[in-house]
Amino acid sequence: MTKYNVIEKILGDRSYPRQNSGQAFAPSNIALCKYWGKRNAELNLPINSSLSISLAHLGTHTTIRMAEGMDSISLNGMPLTLNSRFSHRLIEYLNLFRPERDFYFDVKTDNNFPTAAGLASSASGYAAAARALNNFFGWELEDNLLSILARLGSGSASRSIYHGFVEWEAGFHVDGMDSYAHVLPHRWPDLNLAVLTLSIGSKPVGSTEGMKRTVETSVLYKSWPEKAQRDLDQLRLAIEQKDFELLGETSESNALAMHATMIDTRPSVLYWLPETVAAFHQIWKMRSEGVKLYFTIDAGPNVKILFLRNDLDIVRAVFPQCEIITPFDFSVS
């Protein structure tokens, strides 16, 4: 089973665009129960289900048009060479949708946050690309199918099709048609996030390679799928009951467990910087003093702090460089 087989199931014959251009925005997302490990690398099918929260206005805006003679790709206003890592990966994705071999794409994509720094830029990027392609070609696909298309570019992109709390089901079918994300019917207006950006540099080891290395060599990884399922169940309960302590404790534990499997790889993958660990200790100290802060962290050095609205002034005072996100205060255009 290949990506082309999945595309044929969803789209059938490739068609020419119905619009002059297609554009879309997709939010980045932060997993509270992490996706780490693939049961099928070709289709980006995960070993475990995961659950995330979107970052509202932080994400990717992409515009797609037809180009003449060759593909054209720009990132954050800068033209890229077609042999760059970013372009190569995106072109492989676009190849899935070309109606003819000599059909070319002009893609302009803009992130309003650092690219490749552990803030899920590929997630919002491929979700925005899938939505923009849907508009460009006029497919009029349902969100679950767009989630599958986004997943073919980046696993976590399946969750960035939506805002709010989102669960990505691992599924069990070989073709992955049951592995897509759906939004949870719960809002939590008082829940806030603070994004603490400690590095904007590219990661030394990409998530795909780090994940592969972990699955192949980490002894600790054997217990990961079971823990992820337990954490997922706890997070669903915490969201339903608006139990912030359960949400925070489970999210923090899940993130540290994922990073423990990375550290246990050969050779080890350690994304943390000294500033990352310092942030952990600051959050733990404040919690011991009665301030209910928790953290989560993806495959990178940057820390995301979970807190309730009534602690906003404290978070701003202690972490003045952070960006405050209100996940349930957004408009979808």
Q: What is the mean pLDDT of each run of 10 residues along the chain (333 residues)?
A: 96 91 96 97 97 94 97 96 95 96 96 60 94 97 98 97 98 97 96 91 83 95 97 98 98 98 96 96 98 95 96 97 89 49
> The CATH number of 191-325 is which of 3.10.310.10, 3.30.70.890, 1.10.760.10, 1.10.357.10?
3.30.70.890
Max CA separation in the chain (angstroms): 63
Residue 331: per-residue pLDDT: 57
Residue 120: per-residue pLDDT: 56
- Three-state DSSP state, 210: helix
Instruction: Please state, in angstroms and rounded to a whole number, the distance separating the CA atoms of residues 314 and 293.
Output: 10
- My answer on whether omega of the bond before 267 falls inside 30° of 0, hence cis, is yes
Cα four-point dihedral sign 173, 260, 270, 215: negative
Instruction: Please state, in angstroms and rounded to a whole number, the distance separating the CA atoms of residues 6 and 141.
Output: 14
Q: Where are the domains of the chain?
A: 3-183, 191-325
Give, to the nearest 10 degrees, the angle between helix 207-217 and helix 244-263: 70
Residue 114: per-residue pLDDT: 57
Q: Domain 3-183 carries which CATH code?
A: 3.30.230.10
For residue 209, what are its two tokens? 């390679």
DSSP, residue by residue, 71-92? -EEEETTEE--TTSHHHHHHHH
Answer yes or no: are the C-beta atoms of 75 and 109 closer than 8 Å: yes
